[in-house]
Amino acid sequence: MTRTRATIRDVARRAGVSPTTVSHTFSGNGTVNPHTQARVRAAASALGYHPDVVASGLRRSRLGVIGLVLRPAVGAQPEHLGDIDYFPRFAGAAALAALAHGYALMLVADPVIPGAPVTAYACDGIIVTDPVERDPLTAALRSSGIPYTLVGADIADPADPHAIDIATALITDRVLDHVAAAGSERPALVVGTDPIEWNTAAETRYRERMQAAGLTETILRVPERAPRDEAGLAADELLSLPEPPDGVYCMTSDHARGLVDRFTALGVRVPEDVLVICGSDAECLRDQEPTISTVDLQPEALGRQAAVALLRQLEPDLDVSVPEPDHGRLIVRASTALRMPGVPVDS
C-alpha cells in the first residue's frame, strides 16, 4: 500500500500553527521562536514530512548545490582516478568549503557530451577543472547564464576572469631547477596530448628554458589515457636519441611509472643514469622502486580557492578568503634525491 506523503498543512495542524509558520521554520525566512520551531520539527518528524527542496529551489532560483566537472576524468577508469591524489583531495576540500557556506558540492558529468546526464544545468554554479581549448562546456555555461569557475585557463581565452591560476610556468621552473641541481644537463619533457593549460604551458615554459640555456629540446607527447606499457615505450625513443636525456620531467603519473619500469627493464638506472620526476603525485609513485619525485599541486588549496571564487559569484556579499596555494612545492623521492646528497627523501 502506498503511503500518502504528509503536507505542510498536516504539519501545521499537528503542531497547532499556521502553514506559514511551518514554511518559515524550514526556509529560515521570517521569525519563529525556538520553542515553536522545535514543536514544528517534532510534528514534521512524526509525520515523515520534509520540505520539497526542488520546489523551494525553483521559488528561490537557488538549490544550494554547486557542481564539479572533473574534465580530465572523462573516459578514465574509476580505479585510475582513485590512484591519483589530485582529484579526491581537490573535491574533498572544495566540498568542505562549500558546505561551510550552506552549499553542497556534487560531482556531475560533463553535460555537453552526447548522451551524458544534464544534471549540471540544475546546479547553481559549476567548477570545471582543466578546461580544454575552446571548451564547449564553458560556452554552454556562459550562454545559459550559469556561474562558473575554471581551474586553469582555457588556452584560447587566457584572460577569462573566472579562471583560477594553476601556475604551470612557475611549477615547470621549479622542476627544471631541481633536476639541474641534481646534475641533469639534458632534461626531456614527456607531456600529454589533451589541449589544456597544464600541458601547453608546461611545454611553452620548457622550450623557453631550453632555448635560454642553449640546450636541445626533447619533447615526447603521450596520450593521457595510454596504457602504462605504451607510455613506457617512450623510454625506447628517448634512449635512441644521439644524446639520450639524463633527466625526464613526465607530466602524468602512469606515464612516469611506465618510463621507470621500462628504463629498469633495459638496464638503465634511475637516478644514477637518468633522473625522473612527475608532474602530479599518485599512490603508484610512492609504491614504485625507486620511489618517484613529484610535484604537490596543492589540490586542497586549489579546491578551496575554486569553491570560494564560485561562491563569491553566487553570493556577492560573501566575506571569505582563503590562502594562496604554495605552487610548485616538490616532493623529493629517490628518483632524484639520490643524486643530491643531504637532501631528505620523502617516504
Together in a domain, 158 and 303: yes
CATH at 180 = 3.40.50.2300
Q: For all residues of the chain together, what is the average pLDDT?
A: 86
Instruction: Output the pLDDT for position 1.
Output: 41
Which of 101-115, 193-207, 243-257 is predicted least confidently? 101-115
Q: Beginning with the edge strand found earlier in the chain, give each strand of the sheet holding 163-164 in spatial order.
A: 104-107, 65-70, 125-129, 148-151, 163-164
What domain range includes position 150? 65-166+299-314
Q: Does one domain contain both 136 and 190?
A: no
Q: What is the pLDDT of residue 86?
A: 87
Res 226 pLDDT > 50: yes
For 41-65, the pLDDT digits (tens) are 888 777 777 665 544 444 455 678 9
Residue 34 sits in a domain of what CATH number? Answer: 1.10.260.40
Residue of 186, 172, 185, 58 whose CA lies nearest to 122: 58
Domain shared by 240 and 306, yes or no:
no
**Separation of alpha carbons 341 and 345, rounded Å:** 10
21: confidence class by pLDDT, cuts 50, 70, 90 = confident
pLDDT higher than 50, residue 275: yes
CB 155 within 8 A of CB 196: yes
Cα 344 to Cα 234: distance, rounded to the nearest angstrom: 29
28 and 114 belong to one structural domain = no
Strand, coil or helix: 209: helix
What is the reported pLDDT for 311? 95
* 324 within a domain of the structure (yes/no): no
- pLDDT of 214 over the 90 cut: yes
Residues 211 and 333 placed together within one structural domain of the fold: yes
- Residues 194, 333 within the same domain: yes
Task: Decide which of 289 and 205 is more confident.
Answer: 205
The whole-number pLDDT of residue 75 equals 47
In a domain, 136, yes or no: yes
In a domain, 321, yes or no: no
Q: How many domains would you assign to the chain?
A: 3
Is the domain of 160 the same as that of 216? no
Residues 133 and 114 both lie in one domain: yes
Distance of alpha carbon 225 from alpha carbon 230, whole angstroms: 10
Q: 252: closest CA among 204, 202, 215?
A: 202
Q: Are 162 and 238 within one domain?
A: no
The residue-averaged pLDDT of 246-250 equals: 97
Do the Cβ atoms of 107 and 115 come closer than 8 Å?
Answer: no
Q: What is the pLDDT of residues 296-330, one digit of tens each?
A: 999 999 999 999 999 999 998 888 888 888 898 99
Backbone CA torsion sign across 156, 159, 163, 169 = positive
Q: Is residue 60 part of a domain?
A: no
Classify 136 as helix, strand or coil: helix
Tens-place pLDDT, residues 72-121: 644 444 444 545 678 889 999 999 999 999 899 999 989 888 888 888 88
Each residue's pLDDT tens digit, 117-170: 888 888 999 999 999 999 999 999 998 889 999 999 999 999 999 999 999 999
pLDDT at 78: 43
Domain assignment present for residue 57? The answer is no
> In this structure, are 274 and 306 located in the same domain?
no
Q: Which residues contact 140 (CB under 8 A, 6 or more apart)?
A: 111, 112
- In this structure, is residue 85 part of a structural domain? yes
User: Residues for the chain: how many in total?
Assistant: 347
**Cell 552549499 belongs to residue:** 103
Assess whether 157 and 175 both reside in one domain: no
Rounded Cα gap, residues 290 and 287, in angstroms? 8
Q: Answer yes or no: is 344 within a domain.
A: no
Contact (Cβ atoms closer than 8 angstroms) between residue 65 and residue 106: yes
Between CA 39 and CA 43, with CA 40 as vertex, the angle to 5 degrees is 85
Please give the Cα distance from 198 to 224 (Å, whole number). 12
Domain for residue 147, yes or no? yes
Alpha-carbon distance of 198 to 264, in angstroms, equals 28
Take residue 19 and report the three cell numbers written for it.
502553514
Range of weakest confidence among 4-13, 78-87, 232-241, 263-272: 78-87
Task: Please report the pLDDT score of residue 177 as a whole number.
Answer: 96
H helices then E strands: how many in the chain? 14, 11
229 grid coordinates: 606499457
What does the alpha-carbon distance between residue 324 and residue 300 come to, in Å, rounded to a whole number?
A: 11
- Does residue 102 share a domain with residue 220? no
| Confidence at residue 342, expressed as pLDDT on a 0 to 100 scale | 56
**Which amino acid, residue 301?**
A
Q: Which of 258, 277, 282 is closest to 337 using CA atoms?
A: 277
Choose among 166, 63, 140: nearest CA to 105: 63
